[in-house]
Amino acid sequence: MIDIKLIRENKELVKENIKKKFQDHKLPLVDEVYDLDEKFRNCKLEGDKLRAEKNKLSDSIGKLVRDGKKDEIAKIKEEVAKANDRITVLEEEQVKLEEEIKKRMMVIPNIIDKTVPIGKDDSENVEIQKFGDPVVPKYEIPYNADILEAVGGLDKESAGRTSGNGFYYLMGDIARLSSAMLAYARDYMIDKNFIYCIPPFMIRSDVVTGVMSFDEMDAMMYKIEGEDLYLIGTSEHSMIGKFKGQILKENELPITMTSYSPCFRKEVGAHGIEERGIYRVHQFEKQEMIVLCKPEDSFDWYNKMWQFTVEIFRNMDIPVRQLECCSGDLADLKVKSCDIEAWSPRQQKYFEVGSCSNLGDAQARRLGIRVKGEKGNYFLHTLNNTVLASPRGLIALLENNYNEDGSVNIPKVLQPYMGGKKKLEKVK
C-alpha cells in the first residue's frame, strides 16, 4: 500500500506506475481516492472547527452561571447540542470515507523501482547474469519422476489415494536428501547470522491481506473452513506478520531471520498441477530468509539476499542464473524482484527455484509495523527470498548430478547430512 500523500501530491506519478504495470483498469481508482480523501479531510476540518467552537461555548457557560444569565445558558447549550449532533454525523462520514479509501488503496500497486524493466508478463523478464556453466551431457537425462522412481524415492500413486492430484510421498534416501538440502540451507543462513525460526503454519485473514494482494490471496491460499485461518503459502507470511502492530526500536534493525515451513498452494491457473512429476504441487517445504530494515538499507540487503541463494546452489554443483522480473510480472506490493533459476540439462533451459523481493514499506503500512527513530516514527522496509525450496531444488540437484548409469552424485556439502553417503544408486 502506497502513502496517500503520493496521490495528494502527485497523482500522475501513481497513474504512470499503474500504466507501467499494464493495469490500466486501475487508473480510475487514483482519482476516486483523491476525491474521497478531499471529502475526508473536509469532514475532519469541519469537525475540528466545531469541536473548538463547542469547547469555547462550554467554557463560557461557567461565567454565565455565575452571572445568573439563564436564557443565554440555555441558548448556548442548544448550540452545543447542535454541534454535537453535527460532529457525530461527520465522524460517521469519516469512518465510511476511510473504509472506501482503504478499499481502493489496497489494490493500487506499489511504486516500482526505476531500474525495473518494463514488460507485460514473465516472457519479458530479463536475464542479468549466469553462475556456472550449463552442461548438457551426451547421455539422456530422464524426467524427474523417472529418476526418483528409479532410486525408490517417489510414490505419487499412494498420494493420489490419500490426498489427490498434486501430492506425493518422498521415500528413503530421496526423502533424506530433501531434508538434507533444507538442513544445509538452514545452517548456511545461520552462519550468515540469520535467526532460525519455525513459525505458525496458519495465519489470520488480517495478516494475509497485510502481506499480499487480494489477487495473490485468491490464487494461492487455502482457507480453513469455519475459521478465520489460512494455510501459509510461504513462511514469509507468518514471519512478517510476527511484527504486526509493533513499534520497533531503530537500534534493533536490521532484523534478519531464516524460517522453515511446509507451504500449501492451490496453484490455480493455466499452468495447472503436474500429473507425474513434483515440479508444481500443492505442498512442499521451504527455507526462507526475511529482512526488516531501514529504508535506506533495503537495496543493499536485496543484493546480498539473492546472492546467498546463488552460492547455495553453486555449492551443490548446480548452474543458476539471475532473472530480473519485469514490471508486469511484479506482484502489486513489490518494488523490485528477481528470480533465481537453475539449469535443467534435460530441458536445456533454466527454471525457477527461488525469488527475491524488495517490498519497500508496503507490508509495513498494511500491518502497521513502525520504527521509533530520532525524528519520529516511520515505516520500515521488508524483504524476502527463497533460500531453498524442495522439491524444485531437488529436481535441479537430481538432473545436474545424474550419471549415465542412473545413479545420482550427492554434492559434498550434503554428504554430512546423508551419513557420509556419496551417491544414490538405482533400486533393483
Q: Is residue 228 in some structural domain?
A: yes
Residue 244 and residue 143 share a domain: yes
**Given 52, 70, 105, which residue is the final one in a domain?**
105
Q: Is residue 270 in some structural domain?
A: yes
Query: Amino acid identity of 248?
Result: L
- Per-residue CA distances from 344 to 330, 351, 373 (Å): 24, 7, 47
pTM exceeds cut of 0.95: no
Q: Which residue from 399, 391, 108 is spatially nearest to 265, judged by alpha carbons?
A: 391
Report the pLDDT value the prediction gives residue 220, as an integer from 0 to 100. 85
Structural domain containing residue 353 = 122-424
Contact 43, 93 (CB under 8 A): yes
Contact 394, 285 (CB under 8 A): no
For 419: left if phi > 0, alpha if psi spans -120 to 50, otherwise beta; the answer is left
Q: Is residue 111 in some structural domain?
A: no
381 forms beta bridges with: 293
The CATH number for 363's domain is 3.30.930.10
Residue 169 and residue 86 share a domain: no
Output the nine-digit C-alpha cell for 79. 448550540
Residue 279 and residue 222 share a domain: yes
For 132: left if phi > 0, alpha if psi spans -120 to 50, otherwise beta; the answer is left
Report the pLDDT value the prediction gives residue 268, as an integer from 0 to 100. 59
d(C-alpha 95, C-alpha 419), whole Å: 62
Three-state SS at 132: coil
Residue 126 and residue 83 share a domain: no
Grid cell 533451459 in the structure block, residue = 349
Residue 237 and residue 152 share a domain: yes
Q: Is residue 115 in some structural domain?
A: no
How much of the chain is in helix, strand and coil states, percent to nearest 5?
45, 20, 30
Residue 130 and residue 93 share a domain: no
The CATH number for 71's domain is 1.10.287.40
Contact 329, 121 (CB under 8 A): yes
Report the pLDDT value the prediction gives residue 64, as an integer from 0 to 100. 63
Report the pLDDT value the prediction gives residue 270, as an integer from 0 to 100. 46
Tell me the per-residue pLDDT of 233-260, one tens digit each, with 9 for 90 and over. Answer: 999 999 999 999 999 999 999 999 999 9
Q: Is residue 130 in some structural domain?
A: yes
User: Burial level of 275, CB count in 10 A (0-12/13-18/19+)?
Assistant: exposed
**How many CB atoms sit inside 10 A of residue 171's CB?**
17
**Given 59, 78, 105, which residue is the final one in a domain?**
105
Residue 230 and residue 140 share a domain: yes
> Torsions phi, psi of 379, nearest 5?
-85, 135
Residue 326 and residue 202 share a domain: yes
Residue 206 and residue 61 share a domain: no
Report the pLDDT value the prediction gives residue 63, as an integer from 0 to 100. 65
d(C-alpha 18, C-alpha 25), whole Å: 9
Output the nine-digit C-alpha cell for 129. 547474469
Rg (CA), the chain: 28
Q: What is the pLDDT along the chain (428 residues), one digit of tens a residue?
A: 899 999 999 999 999 999 999 999 999 999 999 999 999 999 999 999 999 888 887 767 666 666 666 667 677 778 888 888 999 999 999 999 999 999 999 999 999 999 999 999 999 999 999 999 999 999 999 999 999 999 999 999 999 999 998 899 999 999 999 999 999 999 999 999 999 999 999 999 999 999 988 777 877 899 999 999 999 999 999 999 999 999 999 999 999 999 999 999 987 554 556 667 899 899 999 999 999 999 999 999 999 999 999 999 999 999 999 999 999 999 999 999 999 999 999 999 999 999 999 999 999 999 999 999 988 999 999 999 999 999 999 999 999 999 999 999 999 999 999 999 999 999 87
Residue 315 and residue 248 share a domain: yes
Q: Is residue 116 in some structural domain?
A: no
Q: Which residue from 244, 229, 211, 221 is spatially nearest to 331, judged by alpha carbons?
A: 211
Residue 126 and residue 101 share a domain: no
**Given 75, 105, 135, which residue is the final one in a domain?**
105
d(C-alpha 219, C-alpha 236), whole Å: 17
Q: Is residue 117 in some structural domain?
A: no
Tell me the per-residue pLDDT of 98-112, one tens digit each, with 9 for 90 and over. Answer: 999 999 999 999 999
Q: Is residue 184 in some structural domain?
A: yes
- The rounded Cα 394 to chain-centroid distance in angstroms is 23
Residue 274 and residue 219 share a domain: yes
Domain count, the chain: 2
